[in-house]
Structures are given as C-alpha cells and as structure tokens.
Amino acid sequence: MAKLHHVISADQFNPEISEKIFEEAERIRGADENSLKDILKNKSIVLLFWESSTRTFLSFYNAILKLGGFPIPILNAGKFSSAIKGESLKDTIRTCADLKADGIIMRHDKEGSAKVAAETLDIYAPKVCLLNAGDGKGEHPTQMLLDVYTLWRMKKEELKKGKLTGALVGDLRDSRVLHSDAKALLKYKTRLILISEKGNDLPPEITAEIKKEKIDYVRTDDIEKFAQEVDFWIFTRLQLERKGISLKNFRPQLQSKFSQKFGITKELLSKMKKDALLLHPLPRVEEIPEWVDEDKRAIYLSGKENSESQVANGLYLRMALLKIIF
Ligand code: NCD
C-alpha cells in the first residue's frame, strides 16, 4: 500500500487500501490496550474544528489518547483561533505546523478547505499531515471509512463480491457523508438506490462517475419502492446549514416534511429485508425515531439486542487510520 499521508477525499481509497485499514481496526479492537500506548508517543495532533461535532471529534480525540499521543483541541475555531481577527486559513495551518504539530485533523464549513490546508502543508511543512474531518458540503472521508468498515464487518462477502444493494437516503446534494460514501461504494460495485427529492440529487460529477463505472443504480423519491431489495440503508438529516438556513433558526416544519418522506416509518420497516442494516452518520433529527433503536437491524448505536455500533466502529477505524499514517 502506498504511504498514506493527507486524507482529503474518498477518491484516495479503493477496496484494497480500505481493507488494510479495516484489518488493522480489527486487530486494534482485539488488542490489549497497553500494547497500543506507544503508537503515537510524542505526537501532537491538533483538532481544528470550525463546525460542531460530537462523534468525529470525540472518536479522534479518544483514538489519539488511546494510542498515547497528545490531542490539542481547538473547538469553535472560527472564534477561538485568530480567524476571528482575520487570520487566513493558510496562516492558521502554518502556525500549527510551526508550533510542531505532527498532524492536523480539520473540520471546516467550506468545501475545498481541506485541500487548501493540505497544499499549504505540502509547501511549508511537508511532514505534517492533514485529515479532513468534513469540509462544508464537500466530503467526509473518515466517516466513509467507518461506514464501509461497518458494512465490511457485517456483510463482508457480499460487499467484496459486489452483491449488495445500498440505499442512500435523504439529502444527497448536500451531505458530505453521502458524497464520500457514494464514491467508495461504486468502487465496490454496490448497486445504488438513490432516494431524495428531485433536485436534491448527488452532485453531477459523482453521478457521472457512477455512470462511467456502469454501476447499476436507480434514483427515486419513493422510499418504499425498492425496500425489499435493499441490503443496507444510509440515512441522513436535512442539511439545513448547507442550504443557507442557519441552524439557530431551526425549521421544525421543514425537518418534519423531510422526515415524513425520507425517514423510517413502521410501514417502511415492515417492508425492509429481515437482515437489512440501518446506518446513519448521526446526528439524527427525526428521520429515525427512537423506537427504531429496538429493532436489531438498527446499528448506528449499540442497542439492547445488538452490540454492533457504527459509532464504536468509528473509534477503532480512526485508531487504525492514525496508526497507519504515523
Ligand atoms: C455528519 C457530518 O458532520 O457531516 N456527522 C458526522 O460527522 N458523524 C453528518 C451530519 O452532520 O449530518
């Protein structure tokens, strides 16, 4: 496997590279915690987050700690770094490097910012790596890795043989998670059911890639139509902030309308395959009501009947990724 340095886009991964990371994640999951403590010894990694985060931030932070490194959190970076005084992204990144950070994990509200940050490092501090923890409505490659890792754990043979049908549901245009997931799944030749409002489709360049690779796909706004054929579902919330609607002015009516069409109902659940998998990068708003958690097909969080947890997989996956990069 070529050396991984920056992680910017799902484009950098193929099944072979991803599976090396998944295998490492499995080893780490089963390892004695003490044996992991020196992997990031003396490494300082800045968590530079412009946008809010629960899972991505916590799992990276905890992954660094468990591997013996030092996480340096800069949360709400737009306010708590000098960005508020007018500092440019490039200068913030160069500052992290000059202060001897070994890596930067960055979440930013602008699409393309991860690439700009990585290019800045390439010029001024080529040893420092940049991990994209979400750039606006661009991509979220580490969420993609943990999503595919979860599928690999649960349906390995079918995934590898291109025998799965996956539904990507909700905000296909603006969900960075679904952008990265779609790019990865087409490399696995997964049949895709793309379910969204017309006009809220995947970006044209990703659809072009799906067509170029001759992936079997359908796009529909009818969530029930193909339910009996779907092996896994990835739901998303309505990405209001990407549509110019401030999250502070939360729009319950917009969200409810969205969830009625692109969320789970009793009816939909009854039509799904008995062994379907229900994934969601979280946060969920109303697309997946809490009562669904009792269903053993729900694996976004560990449940009473099911210990598989996409969230927990995120920790092991990110530990593996950090180990491989460093
Ligand atoms: C996602 C994100 O930030 O893009 N969350 C996450 O990282 N697990 C999904 C979202 O915000 O809808």
145 lines ligand 1 (CB under 6 A): no
The predicted pLDDT at position 101 comes to 98
For a mutational test of ligand 1's pocket, the pick from 60, 143, 287, 313, i.e. the residue with the most ligand atoms closer than 8 A to its C-beta, is 143
The region of weakest confidence among 79-88, 146-155, 243-252, 314-323 is 243-252
Please tell me whether residue 219 adopts helix, strand or coil conformation.
strand
Query: Can you give the pLDDT at residue 81?
Result: 82
For the cut 80, the answer to whether the pLDDT of residue 274 exceeds it is yes
Alpha-carbon span 73 to 88, nearest angstrom? 19
User: pTM of this prediction?
Assistant: 0.97
User: In the prediction, which pLDDT does 172 show?
Assistant: 98
- pLDDT of res. 160: 98
Q: Which domains are present in the chain?
A: 32-136 (3.40.50.1370), 142-312 (3.40.50.1370)
- Give first-to-last CA distance, the chain, whole Å: 14
Question: Average per-residue pLDDT in the chain?
Answer: 96
pLDDT over 90 (residue 193): yes
Say yes or no: CB of residue 142 within 6 Å of ligand 1.
no
What's the pLDDT at 212? 98
State whether the beta carbon of 143 lies less than 6 angstroms from ligand 1.
yes
Annotate 64-79 with b (16+ C-beta within 10 A) or e (fewer): bebbebebbbbbebee
Reply yes or no on whether the pLDDT at 248 is more than 80. no
pLDDT in tens, 63-91: 999 999 999 999 999 888 888 888 999 99
The ligand 1 atom at the shortest distance from the C-alpha of residue 51 is 3
- Please tell me the predicted confidence (pLDDT) of residue 255: 86
Residue 116 is predicted with a pLDDT of 98
Rg (CA), the chain: 19
Residue 2 above 80 pLDDT?
A: no
For residue 195, report the distance from its CA to the centre of ligand 1, in Å: 18
In the predicted structure, residue 316 carries a pLDDT above the cut 90? yes
Least confident of 144-153, 206-215, 237-246: 237-246
Say if ligand 1 is within 6 A of residue 134 CB. Answer: yes
pLDDT in tens, 128-151: 999 999 999 999 999 999 999 999
Q: Which ligand 1 atom is at minimum distance from the Cα of 236? A: 12
Q: How far apart are CA 14 and CA 31, in angstroms?
A: 26
Ligand 1 proximity of 284 Cβ (cutoff 6 Å): no
What is the atom index within ligand 1 of the atom nearest the CA of 314? 8
Say if ligand 1 is within 6 A of residue 177 CB.
yes
Sorting pLDDT into bands at 50, 70 and 90, what band is 280? very high
pLDDT of 262 > 80? The answer is yes
- pLDDT band for position 235 (cuts 50, 70, 90): very high
pLDDT the model gives residue 306: 78
- Residue 312 corresponds to which tokens in the numbers above? 């927990």
Q: Is it the case that residue 1 has pLDDT exceeding 80?
A: no
Most informative mutation of 179, 258, 282 for ligand 1 (most atoms within 8 A of CB): 282
Looking at residue 11, its pLDDT comes to 98
Give 52 Cα–ligand 1 centroid separation in angstroms: 9
Check: CB of residue 68 under 8 Å from CB of residue 36.
yes
Res 120: pLDDT? 98
Closest by CA to 61, choosing from 73, 44, 74, 48, is 73
